[in-house]
Chain A
Amino acid sequence: MKLHKTLLATTALTVAAGAPAISQEMADSMTLVSWGGAYQESQQKAYVEPYLEMNPDVSATWDESSAEAVAKLRAMDEAGNVTWDLVDVVASDAMRLCDEGLAMEIDHDEVLAAAPDGTEASDDFGDLIVSDCFIPQIVYSTTFGYRTDMVPEGVEPPSEICDVFDLETYPGKRALEQRPINNMEWALYCDGVAKEDLYDVMSTDEGVDRALAKLDTIKDEVVWWTAGAETPQLLADGEVFMGSTFNGRLFSAIAEQDQPIGMMWDMQAFDLDGWIVPADLPEDRLARVMDFLKFATDTQRLADQAAYISYGPARESSAPLVGEHAELGIEMAPHMPTDPANASNTLIYDYEWWADNRDDLDAKFQSWLSR
C-alpha cells in the first residue's frame, strides 16, 4: 500500500513537472480528416471552433478524405510521411487501421476526459470502444426513408423492414447500398431467420445463397447507391419510393429541406464513427492532438454536436444533455437513432464477422449483382 502511494505521488509530481514542458512543445497546427458536409460542420461548430478560441495561436485544417482514409493512410505510411493528425473513420475502418498498425493504440482512461460524475472514459463509452485504437464520437444508423406521397392509397405507410421486400403492397423502386453489409442481414431477417442467428446462417454457403435469393425478389426494382447523399436525392426526385441511408441524411432532408419523406426505424443498423490517431506521429504533433482530443470528446462537447446533426453522442453521460437543434429549435432527442422509441428493434452489426468475411462475400455479392 505504501509503495502504491509513493508511486502515485511520484507520478503526480512527474505529471505536474512535465505538463508545462509538454505544452510548450505542442505543434500549432492540426490536420483533421472528416467526411465533409453537414457532419464535418457539426464537428467544426461543436468543438473545433471553441477549441481554436481557447487556443488562438493554433490553426486547424480539414481534409475531407474519410471515405478513403484507410487507403490514403496506408499510402502515406509507405511513403513515410503521414500528414494527418486526427482521422474520423467508421468503426470497421478503425479496426482495419489498428490491424494494419496504421493507427495508434489508445489508453482511453488516460487520454480522454472522465464524465462529470467521475465515471472513467472507458466506462462512459462502454462497449462502443470496439478497437484499442478507436475513440467513438457518435452512434449513427443506416435505416430506411420513404416518400409519404407515394404510399399506395388505402395502405398503411411502411413501418417494418420487411415492407422493403414486399413489392405487392408497396410497389416502386428501392435504393440500397451497393455492398453486402446490412442488405444481407435484412434479407435473411425478412426470410424468417431470427435476429440472433443471422451471422450463423450467413456463415454457411446456403445462408449466403438464401440471402441473395431473397434480394433477388426485389433486384429488378433496386437502384444501388455508393454515396450516402444519393438516397435523399433519389427520394427528393421521386426516383425511388424507399431507400436506405444514414439517418442524419434523412433527418436533414425531412427537417431542413421539408421533403415529403417519412422515417422507418425498424431494424436500423447501428454503426459507430469516431477518431483514430495515426501511428508514429512526431511528439509535438501528438501532444497537440491529444490535447484537442481530450477536449473534443468530453461529455459536453459530444452533446453539443448533437445540436447540429441527428447522431447520438457516444458517451452515456452526454445523452441527458442533448437539447434542441441549433437553428431549427426542434427537440433533437426523438430524432436520435438511440432514442428508445426508435431503437425498439435494431440490427447490431458484427464487426468481427464482417472483418473476416467481407472479401469473400463481396466477391459473391458483386458477382450476383452483375448476373
Chain B
Amino acid sequence: MSDTTETGPVLAADGTPLKRSLRRALRAQKLRALALIAPLLIFVMVAFIAPIADMLFRSAENQIVGNTIPMTVEELRDWDGEELPDEQVYRALFFDAFFAAEAKEHTRLGSRLNYEESGMSSLFRKSGRSVDDFGEVFQDALEDLNPAFGEAQVWYDMMSGEPAAEGATRLMSNQIARLEQLASESYTGDPDFMPGAAIAEMLPNTAREYAAFAAFTYFEDEDVVAEEEPWEAVYAGLALDLESVDTRRAIAEYDGPGADLLRQAAEAELPPVDMKSAFIEDNEDWARVNYWEVIKMYSPSYTTGYFLNAVDMEKTTEGIALRDEDERIYGLLFKRTMFMSLVITFSCIALGYPIAWLLSNLPARKANLLMILVLLPFWTSLLVRTSAWKVMLQQQGVINDTLVWLGIVADEGRLVMINNQFGTIVAMTHILLPFMILPMYSVMQTIPPSYLRAAKSLGATPFTAFWRVYFPQSVPGIGAGSILVFILSIGYYITPEIVGGTTGTFISNRIAYHISTSLNWGLAAALGSILLAVVLILYWAYDKMVGIDNVKLGG
C-alpha cells in the first residue's frame, strides 16, 4: 500500500507506465473484437437499420409539392384561403406545371395530392396535357409577327446577350437546381448556355424559362441548346414580360442581339396573359377553393398529414379534426390488433404451459419424442399450416363435417369458424405455440424436481406446492414466451390475410395494402412507425413491471 503514496506512476516491465500499456493491450483486443463483429454490424446497418430508417422518414417527408411546383408554393404563401387565388398564383402554376409536365413529374404530384383529396390525380394529369396549349397562343402570335421567333439560333443569341457581356450565373444555377429538385437527380457539366445579365434583368420571366429550357434540353434531352426551338413557356414568359410598360420602355433603349425583334414584339398587340381563365376554362376544378387549400396545406417539406391519417384524423382549414365516421378504420384496427395479440398470447400460455411441464418432467426418451412433435409443425411451412387450418375450419371442412356426422350441429347450422377473429386466433395460436413452449421448457428444465417433493413432504397440497413453489420459478419462461409471441403476433401478416376475412385482419394487413396496392407509402410508414412505437412502449412497460432481466430465453 505504501507504494502508491510514492510519486511517479506505476511502471510496466518495459518501463512504460502501466496504465498506458494496459490501455494499449485492451485497445488491440477491442479492435480485434470489433473486427470480428464488423461484418454482422455492417450487414445489419445496411440491410436492416438503414431501410427501416428510410421508410420511417417517409412518414413525415413531403418534399414533392415544393419540388414540383416551387413558384406556386411561394405565391400561395400569402393567400388567405377565402377566395380563389389571384392571377399571380395561376401564372406561377402555369410555369411550374409546364416544366413539371415536360419532365413528366406532374402526375406523380397528382397521385400524392390525391391521397388527401379525390380528383387531384386526374386534374394534374389532364392539365399537364393542356399547359402546352396555354403557351402556344403566345408562340403562334409571336411567330405570326415575325417568323424569326421560331428560330432556335435567334433565341439562343438573344438570350445569351452580347458575347462579352456579363452572364447571369445565379439565374442559370438556380434553374439547374430547379431541374435537379424536380427530377431528383444531380447534374454536373455546363449546358453551354449562359443568359446575359442585361437581358435577364430586362425580361426576367423569359430569361428564367429559357434558362430552365436550356438546362432541360442539355441535361435531360441531351441535345444542343442552340439547335432547339424553345418551348411554349418561354413565349408565354416573353408575353408576360412585355405587359409591363417599364420593360417596353427598356426594350426601346436596348441594343443587344435581337433588339429589333424585341422592339417589334413590344409594339405589337399580343394576346393578354390570363392564366386563371385558361386553367379554369380547361378544367373547372381549378376554380375549386378546396383544391387550392389542399395544395397550400401540403406545401411544406414535412407534414404531419400521414400520421394524422394513421390515427383517423385529418388536417382541415380549421385545424386538426377527426375524420368522418365512415372513413375511420385505423383506430379500430390498432385496438383489434392489440386485443387479438393478447388473446393469442394467453391462449399460447394456457396451451403451452402443460406441454412445457410435461416435456421437462418426462423421462428423456419420451420427452424427446414429444419435443419432435412440438418442433415438427415449427419446421413446416407457414403457408401450409395456415391453409391446413382453412381445410379444417371451413363450413364444408373437417371439423364441421365431423360435428354434423356426430349430430351435434344440424347440416344447415354449420359453424362459421373461419374468415373471422376466431379463425385467426386459432391458426395463429397454433403457429406461435412453439415460440411459447421452447422458452418455458428451457426455464422449467432448470427447476429441480426435488423442490416440489420437498414442499409436499412439508405438508403442502399438490396445488399449493405447484402454486407457491413451482410456478414462481417458471415465471421467467412465461415472460420470455409472452414477449416473443406478443411481438411476433402484433406484426403478423400472412395468416390473418388468409383466414382473417374482414373482422380478423390486423393493422399489418393495411400496411401491406398501402405498400403494394394503394402505393401510399407515407401512410404505410406512419402506420408502421406507430406500430413500432407501441411495441417499444409495451416492452418498456414490461421491463418496468416484470424486469427484462427476469426473462430467460435459454437455460
A residues lining the B interface (CB < 8 Å): 67-68, 70-71, 74, 96, 98-101, 173, 178, 209, 223-224, 226, 237-239, 352, 355-360, 362-364, 366-370
10 closest residue pairs by CB, A with B = A99-B107, A360-B118, A71-B516, A369-B502, A367-B329, A68-B516, A101-B104, A363-B327, A356-B119, A356-B122
B63 an interface residue at 8 Å Cβ cutoff? no
A224, A364, A366, A368: which contacts B510 (Cβ < 8 A)? A366
B111, B115, B333: which contacts A96 (Cβ < 8 A)? B111
Tell me whether A223 and B419 are in contact in the complex, defined as CB-CB below 8 angstroms, given that A99-B110, A100-B107, A100-B111 are known contacts.
Answer: yes
B115, B329, B515, B516: which contacts A359 (Cβ < 8 A)? B115
Compute how far the CA of A238 lies from the CA of B104 in the bound complex, rounded to whole angstroms: 50
Chain B residues positioned under 8 Å from A101 (CB to CB)? 104-105, 107-108
Chain B residues positioned under 8 Å from A352 (CB to CB)? 122
B118, B328, B395, B519: which contacts A367 (Cβ < 8 A)? B328
* Complex contact A364–B502 (CB within 8 A): no
B383 an interface residue at 8 Å Cβ cutoff? no
* Complex contact B111–A224 (CB within 8 A): no
Q: Which of A98, A356, A368 gathers most chain B CB within 10 Å?
A: A356
- State the Cβ distance, A328 to closest chain B Cβ, in Å: 28
Chain A residues positioned under 8 Å from B519 (CB to CB)? 70-71, 74, 96, 100
Chain A residues positioned under 8 Å from B115 (CB to CB)? 359
Chain A residues positioned under 8 Å from B125 (CB to CB)? 99
B residues lining the A interface (CB < 8 Å): 104-105, 107-108, 110-111, 114-115, 118-122, 125, 326-329, 332-333, 394-396, 419, 497, 501-503, 510, 515-520
A178, A209, A356, A363: which contacts B121 (Cβ < 8 A)? A356
Tell me whether A357 and B503 are in contact in the complex, defined as CB-CB below 8 angstroms, given that A367-B328, A370-B329 are known contacts.
Answer: no
Compute how far the CA of A313 lies from the CA of B497 in the bound complex, rounded to whole angstroms: 33
CB closest residue in chain A, given B501: A224
A68, A355, A370: which contacts B333 (Cβ < 8 A)? A370
22 A-B contacts, Cβ less than 8 Å apart? Answer: A67-B516, A70-B516, A70-B519, A71-B516, A98-B107, A99-B110, A99-B121, A99-B125, A101-B104, A101-B105, A223-B419, A223-B501, A237-B396, A239-B395, A239-B396, A352-B122, A357-B119, A366-B329, A367-B326, A367-B328, A369-B502, A370-B502
Compute how far the CA of A101 lies from the CA of B501 in the bound complex, rounded to whole angstroms: 35
Tell me whether A363 and B122 are in contact in the complex, defined as CB-CB below 8 angstroms, given that A74-B519, A99-B107 are known contacts.
Answer: no
Interface of A, secondary structure class, is: helix
* Complex contact A355–B122 (CB within 8 A): yes
B105, B394, B515: which contacts A71 (Cβ < 8 A)? B515
* Complex contact A356–B114 (CB within 8 A): yes
Chain B residues positioned under 8 Å from A178 (CB to CB)? 502
- State the Cβ distance, B2 to closest chain A Cβ, in Å: 68
Chain B residues positioned under 8 Å from A68 (CB to CB)? 516
Chain A residues positioned under 8 Å from B395 (CB to CB)? 173, 239
Q: Which of B108, B118, B419, B520 gathers most chain A CB within 10 Å?
A: B118
Q: Which of A68, A98, A226, A359 gathers most chain B CB within 10 Å?
A: A359
Compute how far the CA of A63 lies from the CA of B310 in the bound complex, rounded to whole angstroms: 33
Chain B residues positioned under 8 Å from A226 (CB to CB)? 497
- State the Cβ distance, A160 to closest chain B Cβ, in Å: 26
Compute how far the CA of A67 lies from the CA of B107 in the bound complex, rounded to whole angstroms: 22
Knowing that A71-B516, A98-B107, A362-B518 are A-B contacts, what are 8 other residue pairs whose CB atoms are under 8 Å apart, sorted by A's residue number?
A70-B519, A101-B104, A173-B395, A209-B326, A357-B118, A360-B118, A363-B329, A367-B328
Chain A residues positioned under 8 Å from B419 (CB to CB)? 223-224
- State the Cβ distance, A151 to closest chain B Cβ, in Å: 17
CB closest residue in chain A, given B327: A363
Chain B residues positioned under 8 Å from A173 (CB to CB)? 395
- State the Cβ distance, A185 to closest chain B Cβ, in Å: 17
* Complex contact B502–A358 (CB within 8 A): no
Tell me whether A100 and B108 are in contact in the complex, defined as CB-CB below 8 angstroms, given that A226-B497, A363-B329, A370-B332 are known contacts.
Answer: yes
Compute how far the CA of A84 lies from the CA of B115 in the bound complex, rounded to whole angstroms: 28
* Complex contact B518–A358 (CB within 8 A): yes
Chain B residues positioned under 8 Å from A359 (CB to CB)? 114-115, 118, 518, 520
Compute how far the CA of A353 lies from the CA of B455 in the bound complex, rounded to whole angstroms: 75
Chain B residues positioned under 8 Å from A237 (CB to CB)? 394, 396
Chain B residues positioned under 8 Å from A357 (CB to CB)? 118-119
Compute how far the CA of A68 lies from the CA of B104 in the bound complex, rounded to whole angstroms: 23
CB closest residue in chain A, given B502: A369
Compute how far the CA of A357 lies from the CA of B517 in the bound complex, rounded to whole angstroms: 14
CB closest residue in chain B, given A233: B390
Compute how far the CA of A226 lies from the CA of B501 in the bound complex, rounded to whole angstroms: 10
Chain B residues positioned under 8 Å from A370 (CB to CB)? 329, 332-333, 502-503
Chain A residues positioned under 8 Å from B326 (CB to CB)? 209, 364, 367-368
Compute how far the CA of A178 lies from the CA of B496 in the bound complex, rounded to whole angstroms: 14
Chain B residues positioned under 8 Å from A355 (CB to CB)? 121-122
Compute how far the CA of A178 lies from the CA of B396 in the bound complex, rounded to whole angstroms: 22
CB closest residue in chain A, given B515: A71
CB closest residue in chain A, given B111: A99
Chain B residues positioned under 8 Å from A98 (CB to CB)? 107
Chain A residues positioned under 8 Å from B328 (CB to CB)? 367
- State the Cβ distance, A65 to closest chain B Cβ, in Å: 10
CB closest residue in chain B, given A178: B502
Chain A residues positioned under 8 Å from B118 (CB to CB)? 356-357, 359-360
Compute how far the CA of A239 lies from the CA of B396 in the bound complex, rounded to whole angstroms: 6
Chain B residues positioned under 8 Å from A71 (CB to CB)? 515-517, 519
CB closest residue in chain A, given B115: A359
- State the Cβ distance, A367 to closest chain B Cβ, in Å: 4
Compute how far the CA of A5 lies from the CA of B111 in the bound complex, rounded to whole angstroms: 44
- State the Cβ distance, B183 to closest chain A Cβ, in Å: 10
CB closest residue in chain A, given B119: A356
Q: Which of A173, A357, A367, A368 gathers most chain B CB within 10 Å?
A: A367
Chain A residues positioned under 8 Å from B501 (CB to CB)? 223-224
Compute how far the CA of A356 lies from the CA of B120 in the bound complex, rounded to whole angstroms: 7
Compute how far the CA of A357 lies from the CA of B332 in the bound complex, rounded to whole angstroms: 23
Chain B residues positioned under 8 Å from A358 (CB to CB)? 518
Q: Which of A96, A99, A178 gathers most chain B CB within 10 Å?
A: A99
- State the Cβ distance, A309 to closest chain B Cβ, in Å: 24
* Complex contact B503–A238 (CB within 8 A): no
- State the Cβ distance, A214 to closest chain B Cβ, in Å: 15
CB closest residue in chain A, given B505: A370
Chain A residues positioned under 8 Å from B119 (CB to CB)? 356-357
Chain B residues positioned under 8 Å from A238 (CB to CB)? 396
A74, A96, A239, A364: which contacts B394 (Cβ < 8 A)? A239
